Structure 1
Amino acid sequence: MSGVDGADLPGGGRAGDGPARPRGARWWAVRGALLLAAVLLGVALVGQWNDVRDSVGELTVLGLVGSAVATVAAVGATVLSWRAVLGGLGAVLPLRAAIRIFCVGQIGKYIPGSVWPVLAQMELSRDYGVSRPKSASASLVVLALAVPCGGVTAAATLPFVSREALTDYWWALAVVPLFAVVLYPPVLSRLLGRAFRLLRRPPLAEPLTARPILAGAGWLIAGFVWYGVGTWLLVRDLTPAVDGARLVALCVGAYALAWTAGFLVLVLPAGAGVREAVLVLALAPALPSGPATLIAVVARLLATIADVVWALVGVALRPRGEPTPDERPSPVLPAEPGADPRETPSRAR
């Protein structure tokens, strides 16, 4: 696609090459916000550990480690969802670039308000030649997509094991049809087109199709399953009243409902408090409120640790200096007079 993404720069460079660019007020503001988010993340981590250190001994090492691994995998699935949606918008990033942009930017969620990770991802995407509108669109689409994915996951599992939770938090599922309509590809493409025009950016080369949306949804549902597996590995250490496949379904649905309800409360960082309350109620068929509260707090701690792990991985994956975004379509640039046709530069890679 012609335009900012992947475009040639004066002097022979390209927007995806990753060299230093002018560091304006926006650059410093985003980095300052990320630094603040890192401090708040550290404070949250210490506070969450203090909440569980006296009772974490009730859980086995195997359960804790297994749950941590499952939680890290769940966050990884979210990265792949974002990458799939961004690819549908015409910017296909290498996996290492997607991890860096998404995971470093994601710590912005520890600042109250849901806008900070999106702003950080917008700025970090520019290091790889991806325009801010495309990066923001991908981030917002994934956030919107997570709501129906979480709702569908909860609706498919909880009716069989925890109907009370669905009854009390029906509003978290009631918004699913609205989000589904907005995410219908023709409607979403029209909305994105209007947004790009308002921002005076080039329109998408082609409408967003169902394929990247479905791919993103598939990865998000896989992430909810991983979160549920992590919860199940903790719950089974506390002799729950439910076992077998019903316990797995309960844990998957409980976490999906808790995440969805927490996300919809936009004023709290990462749904603080709401997610735990919903999870405790949803786990009621298996555990009393005391042990369920322990599970909720430990799950929150492990989710924070997973954010730290992925953020550190993202920081380590600095731009290599080669062009990274694969923009579609990729027109061939004309050869300079007298140049060897075999050396004609092209954006196609």
Structure 2
Amino acid sequence: MRRRLSSFLRRRRVLAALQLLVVGVLLGVLAYLLRDVWADALPRLREARPGDVGVAVGVLALYYLLFVLGWQWILAALGVRIGYSLALQAEMASMLAKYIPGTVWTPLARIVWVRRAGVTQTSLVLGSILLEAGLSAIAGVLVFAVGLVPVGSDATALVPLVAFAAVVAVLIHPRVFQPLARKVFGRFGGTEPPVLPYRTMVALLVYYSFTWLVGGVAIFFLLRSLGGEPGFETIPYLGGTAAVGAIVAVLSLFAPSGLGVREGSMYGLMLAVVSEGVALGATILNRLAITVVEAALLALGVVLWRLRRHEPKEALETSHWPEPELARRRS
């Protein structure tokens, strides 16, 4: 047993070291390729307008708060209720866990956190995470496609995104997701998670599309803070750009939190609406902003959860979520 554990830890250390090496090389290559742009980007960063940066950070925080509601919605539809403060902690902890080399920490952080609420069905939590990621990705591609129209940008990048969204749509379809989850989770002794009703999935797609528009507003103000002048009609495109960056970050398993990969994709897409210096500066500000906001919201969630622990028991048991249909059927 000790030998197996030691071997496993060695493999994890090697994987972590390789990931850090890849990130270092990737960031170095990007810095070299953009060496002529830094002369324009750095002065813009030093002279960034605090008001616009503050608005961008506030809107970004709103995006995350809305995103947490989406996950709560999914869990409620699957028959599980957790408080918002705990859901916020779990979501932000998993976001920050992406920076840790290794691919297991992101879902593991959320699983461990929700156990505080007594939710021990690991397969159900994993299923909710997969559904959240899939629905959010599809919504992001839809927003990006709509955003291309007013911008008039080349639609070449849309082809692989549409193909990716189509594959994800098939995988999260109830008739595919349920048997696939049964097979995968069954190998580890878990039970298959329940599926979402079609109506709920469509409603969530609309909801996540709205959250990406909110994310687009955040990037809009980041660009403005650096002297960029994007029009309001570019907000859907910028929201889609944020979605593409998030999708690339998830798919790039070798780069913790998609470091470098996310930035490269967003920088390239933002060139359709602003100059190179503004795009590079906004890319850097965006990474700093999302990290700071995630850490701040995690701390906020912890504070709210501790305050809520001192509330009367009756208040703790009250939920604003309606009794899910699935739970009613089982009772």
Give the TM-score category using the shorter length.
0.7 to 0.9
**Corresponding residue number in structure 1 for 2:56:** 67
For 2:208 and 2:103, locate their aligned partners in 1 and report how far apart those are by CA, in whole Å.
18
Give the count of matched residue pairs. 285
Query: 1:221 corresponds to which residue?
Result: 209
State the match for 1:304 in structure 2: 291
Relative to 1, partners in 2 of residues 1:168 and 1:212: Cα closer, same or farther, differing over 3 Å? closer
8 Å contact from structure 2 (residues 57, 293) kept in 1:
yes
Greater share of residues in helix: 2
Q: Under a length normalisation based on structure 1, what TM-score does the superposition of the two structures give?
A: 0.71
Deviations 1:170-225 (A, max 9, x none): 43342110001111223223333334443434555x64312443344334322211
Structure-2 change in CA distance of 1:223 and 1:107 (3 Å) = same
Matched, 1:180 2:169: yes
Residue 193 of structure 1, aligned match among 166, 179, 182: 182
Query: Structure 2 length normalisation: TM-score?
Result: 0.74
Task: Note the residue ranges of structure 2 that are not aligned, 5 or more in a row.
Answer: 10-15, 21-26, 28-37
Opposite residue 94 of structure 1, the aligned amino acid is G
Is the contact made by 2:44 and 2:278 (CA closer than 8 Å) also made in structure 1? no
Matched, 1:258 2:256: no
Distance 2:48 2:162 in 1: 32
Counterpart-to-counterpart distance in 2, 1:121 and 1:239: 38
Deviations 1:260-293 (A, max 9, x none): 2333222212221122222222222322211210
Gaps of 5+ in 1: 1-24, 30-35, 41-46, 333-347
Local SS of the residue matching 1:305: helix
Identical counterparts, % of pairs: 22
- Give the root-mean-square deviation of aligned CA atoms: 3.3
Q: 1:329 aligns with which of 318, 327, 330?
A: 327
Distance in 1, matches of 2:152 and 2:99, equals 30
Q: Highest CA radius of gyration, 1 or 2?
A: 1
Aligned equivalent of 1:132, options 122, 125, 136: 122
Helix, strand or coil at the partner of 1:329 = helix
Any conservation in 2 of the 1:162–1:284 contact (CA below 8 Å)?
A: no
| Counterpart AA for 1:329 | A
Q: Who is 2:12 aligned against?
A: none
State the Cα distance separating 1:82 from its structure 2 match: 1.3
1:81 aligns with 70
Letter in 2 for 1:137: G
Q: Is the 8 A contact 2:213 2:235 kept in 1?
A: no
The separation in 1 between residues aligned to 2:152 and 2:291, in whole angstroms, is 26
- 1:296: how far off? 0.9
Q: Residues 71 and 306 of structure 1 are in contact (CA less than 8 Å); yes or no, is this contact kept in structure 2? A: yes
In structure 2, relative to structure 1, the CA distance for the partners of 1:264 and 1:105 (3 Å cut) is closer
Matched, 1:294 2:281: yes
Displacement after TM superposition at 1:94 (Å):
2.3
TM-fit CA distance, 1:102: 2.1
